[in-house]
Amino acid sequence: MRNLDEETITQAVLARNVDMKDRRLKEVMTSLIQHVHAFAREVRLTEEEWAAGIQFLTDVGHTCNPCRQEFILLSDTLGLSTLVTAQNHRKPQGCTEATVFGPFYVDDAPEYELGADVGNGMTGEPCYVSGQVRSITGEAVPGARLEVWQADAEGFYDVQDPERTCAQGRGTLHADDSGHFRFKSIVAECYPIPHDGPVGRMLEAMGRHPWRPAHLHFMISAPGYETLVTHVFRDGDKYLDTDAVFGVRSSLVADWVRHEAGKTPDGGESDIPYYTLNYDFVLNPGRPIHANR
C-alpha cells in the first residue's frame, strides 16, 4: 500500500500483521499499535518529541547492567508494575496482598537456619523479625520457603555495591512445622530509588520525588499455594502515601517496635536498643505463580 497518511497508516500496519500465527501475540501487538498511534494523534507528537522519546528509551537501556535494571524502575515509577501485579494477583479477602517485585531481587540467595542473622554485617540497627505462614482457612503452612531482601541503613542493596564479597540483607529460610519463621536483620529505612539516570531525570521533570517508604521484601512459596511476592512497610514512614513506585497497601503496614538494650528475642543480650517486627502471611491455595525476573 502506498501514499499512506495520518488517517490511514494505522489500518495499514494492522493489515500487514494479519497472518500472525500466535493468537496472543496478535492480540497484544494489535492493541499496542492502536494505542501507540492513538497516543501520537492525541498529543500531536512532534518529530523533536519523538526523537527525544527514542533517546530516552535508549538511555534507559544503556543504564541497565547486572546491578541495575532501569527498565524495571521505569515500569515501577509509571505505575505499570503495580497495574500488572494487581491484574494478575487478585486474591480472596484475608489473603496477604501482593505488591511490586522491584529491581533488586537475586536468585539463589544464601540459605539460613531459622533465627540466623540475614543482615550478615549490613549497616543498621538490629531488628528481630518473626511471624507465621498460614492458609486462608487458618492452617499452618509447614516448611514454607521465604526469600527476604532489604536495603541497608543508607538505602543501598548489596547488589549495588560492586566491591561486595558476600550477600547481605538477603537470604532464604524455611518455616518450621507450625509455619513459624524468625530471623535477625536490620531496621528498614526509607530510601530513594536510583535517580542518577534517565528515570531520575524523568521524575525531576515531572516534579516527583524518588523516595520509597521503609520496607522488607518477601517472596513466599509452598506446594499447593500461589507464590506471594510482597513487602512489609514500616508504620509512620513519611513516604507511605507518596511511594515512588505505588507499592503500598494498608494491609502491609506494620509496627517496628523499639526495645531498650537488654535481653533479645533469641535469648541473647544487646548492649544497644533494638527493634522487633512480627507479621503473619496468609497464602492463597492454587498453582504456584513464580515471578519472571
Residues 15, 117: one domain?
Answer: no
In this prediction, residue 67 carries a pLDDT of 81
How far apart, in whole angstroms, are the C-alpha atoms of residue 67 and residue 25?
30
In this prediction, residue 288 carries a pLDDT of 67
In this prediction, residue 147 carries a pLDDT of 98
How far apart, in whole angstroms, are the C-alpha atoms of residue 96 and residue 246?
17
The total domain count for the chain is: 2
Residues 96, 39: one domain?
Answer: no
Residues 160, 23: one domain?
Answer: no
Residues 161, 268: one domain?
Answer: yes
In this prediction, residue 102 carries a pLDDT of 87
In this prediction, residue 43 carries a pLDDT of 98
3-state secondary structure of 73: helix
Q: Does residue 205 sit within a domain?
A: yes
Residues 13, 138: one domain?
Answer: no
Q: Does residue 64 sit within a domain?
A: no
How far apart, in whole angstroms, are the C-alpha atoms of residue 178 and residue 250?
27
In this prediction, residue 13 carries a pLDDT of 95
Q: Does residue 59 sit within a domain?
A: no
In this prediction, residue 280 carries a pLDDT of 98
Give this prediction's pTM.
0.90
Within the chain, which residues score under 50 in pLDDT? 292-293
3-state secondary structure of 268: coil
pLDDT in tens, 225-238: 999 999 999 999 99
Segments forming the whole domain that contains residue 14: 1-45
Task: Fill in the DSSP letter of residue 5.
Answer: -
Q: Which is nearest to 104 in space by CA: 185, 196, 163, 167?
A: 167
What CATH number should be reported for the domain holding residue 107?
A: 2.60.130.10
Residues 166, 246: one domain?
Answer: yes
3-state secondary structure of 19: coil
Residues 81, 10: one domain?
Answer: no
Residues 169, 30: one domain?
Answer: no
In this prediction, residue 162 carries a pLDDT of 82
Q: Does residue 61 sit within a domain?
A: no
Residues 25, 168: one domain?
Answer: no
In this prediction, residue 134 carries a pLDDT of 98
In this prediction, residue 3 carries a pLDDT of 83
Beta strands in the chain (DSSP E): 126-135, 145-149, 170-174, 180-186, 191-192, 211-212, 215-221, 228-234, 253-254, 257-259, 262-263, 269-270, 274-278, 281-283
Residues 101, 35: one domain?
Answer: no
